[in-house]
Amino acid sequence: MFDKISRATLALLGALFVGAGVFSVGFVTGSRYNTLLPAVLQPAAPAADAVVPVDKITVTPAQGATPEELQTAFKPFWETWELLQKNFVDRPLDTTQLVNGAIQGMMRATGDRNTSYMTPAEQSVMQGDMSGELEGIGAEVDGSGDLMRIVAPMKGSPAEAAGVRAGDLILEVDGVDMAGLDSSTVISKVRGKAGTKVKLLLKREGASAPVEVEITRYKITIPMVEGKLLTSGVAYVEINQFGSAVEVALREKLKQLLAQNPPGLIIDLRNNPGGYLDAGVAVASELVADSPVMVERIGDGSEIEYPALPGGLATKIKLVVLINAGSASASEIVAGAVQDYKRGLLVGEKSYGKGTVQTWLDLSDGGGAVRITFARWLTPKKRSVDHKGLLPDVLVTLTEADQSAGLDPQLAAAEAVLLQP
């Protein structure tokens, strides 16, 4: 599934997904395309959207290494373990913390911000996020750097209401410096019971000084799809998450709106950081009839094309897709297909730039889970968006002053494009 999910992988900051341990933006494989997983990650008869148990995976020797070579390679590790147990000043050491730290270090050593480890505690927090029910501040984050970065505040969340913006870096939580701390620690600081408050000090691009916000945590439900007819008659649909139910919700909304013969359709993917890969392909298929809607490139160089699903409801109507820096992963699959096939125009600001595909794999005995990047995805014309993003066809910025005044020049520009003769 492509993780509007929280990214680095998926641990909620009180319902946000975090990276570098857990990241909330990105794809994770979903049920419809599980058969396309490389053999080393292919589970036996997986449940829909399930995390794959590690004991169900056939693992081949790493790069042909012999057991003797692996034993030699791990010798310094076990020597270090023994030296810590015998010599560290504060003994006994917590074995679970040491193991978790070792796994996290192994994930980081890949150099891939989206390959990560989730502890059992983080995994329990992550469960259910894609259902849209969250408790906390409601923001997706990337924890792969020295400072945790906000990918996007969720629609209708406390974070959005407090003015948290995509791209903000978390400097402090309740006055405690977060520099260099692991994602689990930051999560524990930001999370809390509904009704309690947390203060964040944020570094914001373009701001002369750090920005402090106070957020009241609470339980929120994020609707996957919302829509209406604008006063001009243009149909407007906002997709907040690419969860497992988004296809049904989108089709219901499109049927309702298209029955009123609007002159055009706006799909709003701003601050939507992704979700299930299946959902991204399904949403793109509602808008684009051409195939493929995306291409997946596996580590061995082979490619898999994802065709448009038949029966798309909005493949003919005049179309604009809104994007910004919080549009990631599955959002970029949809936007990339629309742009490559010249199906419509992208309006807004450059997207996030998440061009890889991950799968979650359960560790045995309740040991948490690992998130592994197993492929890169490309647009239909084989463009990579990773670390680049998609450039809009019509660049329109949305400033803090606009937001404070209740203005949305990006939406206005999209509407104007569709109303042109």
What amino acid positions are annotated as catalytic residues?
Answer: 329, 340, 354
Phi, then psi, of 278 in degrees rounded to 5:
-50, -45
Residues 6+ apart with CB under 8 A from 96: none
Question: Is-contact 401 165, C-beta < 8 A?
Answer: no
CA 78 from centroid of its chain's CA atoms: 35
Alpha-carbon distance 70 to 52, whole Å? 25
Q: Coil, helix or strand for 228? A: strand
Place of tokens 């409801």: 313
Q: How many CB atoms lie within 10 A of CB 193?
A: 11
Measured between alpha carbons, how far is residue 367 from residues 103, 107, 272, 295, 320 in Å? 11, 15, 30, 33, 45
Residues 6+ apart with CB under 8 A from 177: 171
Question: Is-contact 380 294, C-beta < 8 A?
Answer: yes
Alpha-carbon distance 208 to 219, whole Å? 33
Alpha-carbon distance 117 to 103, whole Å? 7
Q: Which of 348, 342, 341, 329 is nearest to 386 (CA)?
A: 329
What Rg value do the Cα atoms of the chain yield, rounded? 22
Enter the tokens of residue 7: 């990214």
